[in-house]
Amino acid sequence: NSKVIQTPRYLVKGQGQKAKMRCIPEKGHPVVFWYQQNKNNEFKFLINFQNQEVLQQIDMTEKRFSAECPSNSPCSLEIQSSEAGDSALYLCASSWTGAFYAEQFFGPGTRLTVL
């Protein structure tokens, strides 16, 4: 069973509304990744953190998406103004390192539906 906890499992928002989801990484993992998995099951990398610092993020994230991993609190991903195209499964993963050779441990995801 996954030790990465994501809440909520399901999120329904209207267009223009904020959507916020949270992730608690596996204990001892300092690196957190966020991915968007679309209806065709394709993964899109959004952002990753090492502790509280951003390692990498894509341009999309810099505009309507915001994310943080505060100390001693769950990580979060927020969409400021949801669009229909944001409907997807948002997966959080954690790892002991952000390096390219490390296994990522995934949570079950938050399924966002934007009406």
Partner 1 sequence: GDSVTQTEGLVTLTKGLPVMLNCTYQTTYSPFLFWYVQHLNEAPKLLLKSSTDNKRTEHQGFYATLHKSSSSFHLQKSSVQLSDSALYFCALGTGGYKVVFGSGTRLLVSP
- Per CB under 8 A, residues contacting partner 1 are 2, 4, 31, 35, 40-43, 45, 48, 55-56, 91, 98-109
- CB within 8 Å of 14: residues ≥ 6 apart: 82, 114, 115
Q: What are the residues whose beta carbons fall under 8 Å from the beta carbon of 65, sequence distance 6 or more?
A: 46, 47, 77, 78, 79, 80
Output 17 or 43, the one with its CB closest to partner 1. 43
Minimum Å gap between C-beta 56 and partner 1 is 5
Minimal distance, residue 99 CB to partner 1, in Å: 7
Q: Which is nearer to partner 1, 40 or 72 (CB)?
A: 40
Closest approach, Cβ 15 to partner 1, in A, equals 26
CA–CA gap between residue 78 and residue 85 (Å, rounded): 15
**Of residues 24, 25, 17, 6, the one with CA closest to residue 87:** 17
48 vs 82, beta carbon nearer partner 1:
48
- Cβ 42 to partner 1 shortest distance, Å: 5
**Residue 46 and residue 77 in contact, taking contact as beta carbons nearer than 8 Å:** yes
